[in-house]
């Protein structure tokens, strides 16, 4: 017996049972996809119980409901950012933005090095001598972007 004959024989109940099976699969392999497909199958079964449709229309209803549910789920997941106590956990360079330190090597050709904490970081910025105080203003991957943190000297006569 193939799947199409099963759907034709049991009608709406095959959608409901299939949806419950998909919901059970979500419990075993969570990921947020099977729950929406299972929900779409159950709703398709309930619609078919109330108003019997031909098999191609039932599959179309299931397809449309599945797509709508998945698209809404993806949009919702993008809008909700998880709260965390470590927002920079995998962004080591980003956690140094705003910190100040001294260049351990001069910046020549927009490239140099500085120590922050226990790490020597590659930096890029304007040409500055070793020992110059700099402020981290951003990052490009693992390279820190810096600017001079020393007050500007104005020429007074």
CATH of the domain at 135: 2.40.50.140
Please count the structural domains in the chain.
2
Q: Examine the domain organization and report whether 52 and 109 are in the same domain.
A: no
The answer to whether residue 85 is domain-embedded is no
Asked if 39 contacts 62 with a C-beta cutoff of 8 angstroms, the reply is no
The answer to whether residue 157 is domain-embedded is no
Q: What is the pLDDT of residue 37?
A: 94
Q: Examine the domain organization and report whether 65 and 102 are in the same domain.
A: no
The answer to whether residue 154 is domain-embedded is no
> Which of 56-72 are b and which e, b meaning 16 or more Cβ less than 10 Å from the residue's Cβ?
eebeebbeebbeebeee
Phi first, then psi: give them for residue 79, nearest 5 degrees. Answer: -75, -35
* 13-64 residue pLDDT tens: 999 999 999 999 999 988 888 999 999 999 999 999 999 888 899 999 999 9
Query: Domain limits at 9?
Result: 3-79
Q: Examine the domain organization and report whether 68 and 22 are in the same domain.
A: yes
Q: Examine the domain organization and report whether 110 and 58 are in the same domain.
A: no
What value does the mean pLDDT take over residues 65-88? 83
Round to whole Å and give the CA distance between 123 and 43. Answer: 57
């Amino acid at each position: 017996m193939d799947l199409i004959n099963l759907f034709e024989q049991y009608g709406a109940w095959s959608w409901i049972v299939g949806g419950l099976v998909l919901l059970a699969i979500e419990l075993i392999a969570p990921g947020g996809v099977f729950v929406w497909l299972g929900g779409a199958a159950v709703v398709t079964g309930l619609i078919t119980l109330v108003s019997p449709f031909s098999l191609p229309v039932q599959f179309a209803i299931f397809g449309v409901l599945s797509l709508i549910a998945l698209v809404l789920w993806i949009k919702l997941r993008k809008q909700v950012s998880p709260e965390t106590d470590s927002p920079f956990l995998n962004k080591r360079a980003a956690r140094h933005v705003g910190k100040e330190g001294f260049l351990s090597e001069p910046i020549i050709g927009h490239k140099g090095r500085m120590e922050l904490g226990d790490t020597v970081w590659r930096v890029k910025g304007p040409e500055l001598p070793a020992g110059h105080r700099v402020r981290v203003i951003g990052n490009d991957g693992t390279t820190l972007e810096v600017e001079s943190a020393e007050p500007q000297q104005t020429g007074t006569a």
